[in-house]
Structure 1
Amino acid sequence: MKILILSCAFPYPPLEGKTQMRTFSFLKYLNQRHDITFVTQASDEVLEEDIASLKQEIPNCIIFPDVTQETTSPRFLEKAKRLGVFFQQGTPPKLLSHYSLKLQEYLDQEIDSGQFDLLTCEGNNGEIYIRPEWQKKLPTVINIHRSLWGVYKHQRENHSGESGLRNQINLPLLRRYEKHYCSKFSAIVTATQTEQKLLKNLKLETPITVVPNGLDLSVFPKRPANSGGQRIIFIGAMDKPANIDAARFFSLEVFPKIRQRYPESILELVGIRPVHEVLELGEYPGIKVTGPVSSMIEYLHWATVCVIPLRKSMGTKIRTLQALATGTPLVASDYGLEGLSVDGTGVPLCAMRANEIDEYVYAIGRLFEQPKLREKLSINGRTLIENEYTWKRMGERYEQILLTTYNTSHKLSDNSP
């Protein structure tokens, strides 16, 4: 097929974040099997060498400058004006502020040319460029990396985000916005089952399919040996509210009880941009806040146990996949293990599940003391990722959705009067 792919987020380097990783991985897979034209935007912060590297992987790559209409933080009146635009037009002002007329004109010309078999929109930021009438010309697919309405809804239900009047106003507006833009597409792809369920609540006629995130196993090799000792790590960006909460919960409520039983145990909080609430945890006995590190892989390989003690979040976590892939014994909450089959009847044990303080202490204690259990989790975790969560596997699933959408569209066209 000849596929036009749009992503407003520049997808290189592919390890910068989930959006970049997901977009680049699908691009790379599809480019090996189809005729791809990739259209994206790049801000002034994107390095020339990154642009060159992307073009080496995806030769037919068209890049437009990221046009930002707003350069300063809006004051109260400006916020009110933006909210008024949201009410009237239905599109969040943040997306409108990056709208490029030149990119729109380019897309209009390409779609009118009739040369493409299918269009995909990677992430909801690009939906602003997709015209509803394009569905009559070619099948269109949106790969929603993150549902804005779903995030707000989850935060409100779990008291983990902004509250008050702004949230009460934004939630129904975002629901209306998401339902509107989803109706422009022939098929919808989500990264998590949670978001699939949320979007199904919108009563859309469009089919919604889950294709989870994956990993490049060449980047996350299994560690050569199962580490003993009593070294615990928690990895993640240390400025995100869910990670701050998890770091403080584990450091202040769980780890002291572990230290009582295992005085030599240490806890390392590994991740970029640690805020004050995280940095101050480094003052407690046995706890080290590393900040950014040169190799996350080395920390995973050296750790006795990796913990993901999230108490608020949604969707399958890349870091969970990383810990499993490297064979690092994992103890995580229901939130940390969301979307994964890691335990239960008939399922090989890949990780220890814990939500309460005593459950963490019990699970980590078992892993400290039982090398065979550590080895079991190490082998099973790696096997799970190899079998189910490689980007090659996810690329195959994504490609099948595109082929099905294309074939369905052509059958409907053939049957039309």
Structure 2
Amino acid sequence: MSKPSLLYLCHRIPFPPNKGDKIRSFNILQQLAKHYEVHLGCFIDDPYDQQYVEQLNTWCKSVFALPVNKYWSTLKSSIALLTGNALSIPYYHRSAMQLWVDHSCAQFNITKALIFSSTMAQYVIDKEQLHTVVDFVDVDSDKWRQYAQEANPVKKWVYQREWRTLQQFENTVANKVVHSLFVSPQEAELFRQQLQPATRDKIGHLLNGVDTEYFDPANPDIEPINESIDVAFTGAMDYWANVDAAIWFVKSVWPIVRQRYPQATFFIVGGNPSTSIQALHGKNGITVTGRVKDVRPYVLQAKINVAPLQIARGIQNKVLEAMALAKPVIATSMAIEGIDAQNEHISIFDDATNFADSVCAYIEKRQDAPMSRAWIIENLQWHETLNELPVLLNH
């Protein structure tokens, strides 16, 4: 018996699962493929990912992966300043994508759609025949509110405008679709607060998970690296919040650590490091790796993994993965939001001195965190966190 067709739209190609949003969108794709013939439309904003398009056929009936240029997209988004819309909407708008969506819905008689990221909802928001579920993941508009708090006057105006206009678009989407999903109960509740009471019942959440076989400290596929790592921070290093976190750690925490341990090493691990991150390489025991084939050896060999985010929404996969690898984590309260695990190897500090004291304690005495891994196995495996998705797509 053939599976029903489903439209799946993502703002970024969901493979390989090597950064936060792609980890979630890929695992959702795997879940969808068990129940539907998936027709995937997505953008490729990193030329490196072009090589993986064909592999998506493993899970998809058809794939439309449209390359986009970040600089052109940014310029294109300025159109919104004339229309009153959020800058994010024209940033992700392409006529070719709309044509593909329209053609696919007609050709394959598609009646169900899952939209990953609110900005992709613009392609289906007026298609009343679709039973549409949107995975907002995070409350994106609130990120812009946070950015505005730290910005110079010009950026502050732009970010505040984006906060207000994107929030209006998010509300419109939530009013029109069947279900709106978020990555944690906290994100869902934050979003409910900006909605009219009649829409709030349509808001839910699906937690992130971890591939506990892949992120297993005993996995024989993890190849050791010849590096001495005291502290590691992982993530896409062209993402503003990660860049900001690394800079804060280097400026506020790392000097305290190096004063006590002059030979201490800090590895910043992740692709496409910004200019400000690249400038840190080779100074004060800091190594900037750039893109790596496998992040697991760096997480495993570090004495401590840190998540010093000053701006964040949702659940941080970097924290979950370190926990699954039974590694201790020191995080800010922003980075740990939505993760309810508590044990002696999950430390939460927003003050730089306390953060540094905790880092030094793990440099002095290496310790593993088996309770963290046990908690992940019990609470956050993908096959369990996403098991409600087919239900939502049918009701």
Q: TM-score, normalised by structure 2?
A: 0.83
Greater C-alpha Rg? 1
- Residue 341 of structure 1 and its aligned partner are, at CA, apart by 1.4
- Structure 1's 51 and 92: CA in aligned 2 closer, same or farther, altered over 3 A? closer
Q: Secondary structure at the match of 1:100?
A: helix
User: Pairwise mapping of residues 338-349 of structure 1 onto structure 2 (< 5 A)?
Assistant: 338-343=337-342, 348-349=343-344
| Aligned counterpart, 1:189 | 181
- Does the alignment pair 1:123 with 2:99? no
CA deviations on 1:143-171 (whole Å, 9 max, x unpaired) are: 11344322212323465997343234333
Distance in 2 (alpha carbons) for counterparts of 1:43 and 1:165: 29
**CA distance, structure 2, for counterparts of residue 365 and residue 280 of structure 1:** 24
Corresponding residue for 2:57? 55
Shift of 1:139: 3.1
1:132 to partner: Cα distance: 4.0
Q: Please tell me whether the aligned partners of residues 317 and 336 of structure 1 are also in contact (alpha carbons under 8 angstroms).
A: yes
The alpha-carbon distance between structure 1 residues 236 and 49, as it changes in their structure 2 partners (threshold 3 A), is closer
Cα gap change, 1:61 to 1:158, in 2 (>3 Å): same
Q: Corresponding residue for 1:415?
A: none
Give the SS at the match of 1:386.
helix
Alignment CA distance shift 1:141-1:256 (3 Å): same
Structure 1: any 5+ residue segments left out of the alignment? 407-417
Distance 2:123 2:275 in 1: 40
Residues 158, 194 of structure 1: alpha-carbon distance in 2 compared, 3 angstrom cutoff? farther
| Secondary structure at the counterpart of residue 293 of structure 1 | coil
User: Following the alignment from structure 1 to structure 2, what is the Cα–Cα distance between the partners of residues 25 and 282?
Assistant: 33
Q: For each residue in 1:321-350, what CA deviation from the matched residue of structure 2 results, as whole angstroms up to 9, or x when unmatched?
A: 11111112111111221111133xxxx444
- Check whether the contact 1:222–1:382 (CA below 8 A) recurs between aligned residues: no
Letter in 2 for 1:178: E
| 1:412 corresponds to | none
* 3-state SS in 1 of match to 2:212: coil
Alignment correspondent of 2:251 = 252
Q: What is the match of residue 4 of structure 1? A: 6
In the alignment, which of 5, 11, 27 is matched to residue 25 of structure 1?
27
Q: Is the 8 A contact 2:332 2:349 kept in 1?
A: yes
The two structures have a TM-score, normalised by structure 1, of 0.79
Return closer, same or farther for 1:394/1:231 CA change in 2, 3 Å cut-off: same
Distance 1:272 1:230 in 2: 18
| Partner secondary structure for residue 15 of structure 2 | coil
Residue identity over aligned pairs, in percent, reads 20
Q: List, as ranges, runs of 4+ consecutive aligned residues in structure 1 with deviation greater than 6 Å.
A: none
The residue matched to 1:355 in structure 2 has which SS?
Answer: coil
Retained in 1: the 8 A contact 2:39–2:63? yes
Please give the alpha-carbon distance, in whole angstroms, between the structure 1 residues aligned to 2:65 and 2:245: 39
Deviations 1:322-381 (A, max 9, x none): 1111112111111221111133xxxx444112221221233223333445xx23xx1111
Match of 2:103 among 98, 101, 106: 106
> Which residue of the partner structure matches residue 402 of structure 1?
393
Q: Report how many aligned residue pairs link the two structures.
A: 382
Corresponding residue SS for 1:119: strand
Letter in 2 for 1:299: Y
Query: 3-state SS of the aligned residue for 2:155?
Result: coil
Instruction: Report if the CA contact (8 A) 1:223-1:301 is conserved.
Output: no
Q: Name the Cα RMSD after superposition.
A: 3.4
- Listed as ranges, the gaps of 5+ residues in structure 2 are 221-227
> Are the equivalent residues in 2 in contact too, given 1:189–1:209 (CA < 8 A)?
yes
1:74 shift after superposition: 3.7
CA shift, 1:234, in A, is: 1.7
Q: CA deviation at 1:265?
A: 2.2
For the 8 Å contact 1:154–1:314, the answer to whether it is kept is: no
Conserved 8 A contact 2:142-2:163:
no
Give the counterpart letter for 1:85 in structure 2.
T
* Residue 334 of structure 1 pairs with residue 329 of structure 2: no
Instruction: Say if 1:12 and 1:51, in contact at 8 Å, map to a contact too.
Output: no
8 Å contact from structure 1 (residues 143, 189) kept in 2: yes
Matching of residue 37 in structure 1 with residue 32 in structure 2 = no
- In structure 2, the CA distance between the partners of 1:389 and 1:160, relative to structure 1 (3 Å rule), is farther
Cα gap change, 1:162 to 1:235, in 2 (>3 Å):
farther
CA 1:82–1:382 in 2, change beyond 3 Å: closer, same or farther?
same
SS of residue paired to 2:279: helix
User: Deviations 1:12-33 (Å, cap 9, x if unpaired)?
Assistant: 423243333222211212322x
Q: Distance in 1 between matches of 2:73 and 2:318?
A: 33
Tell me the residue number matched to 1:414: none
- Aligned match for 2:205, one of 197, 207, 210: 210
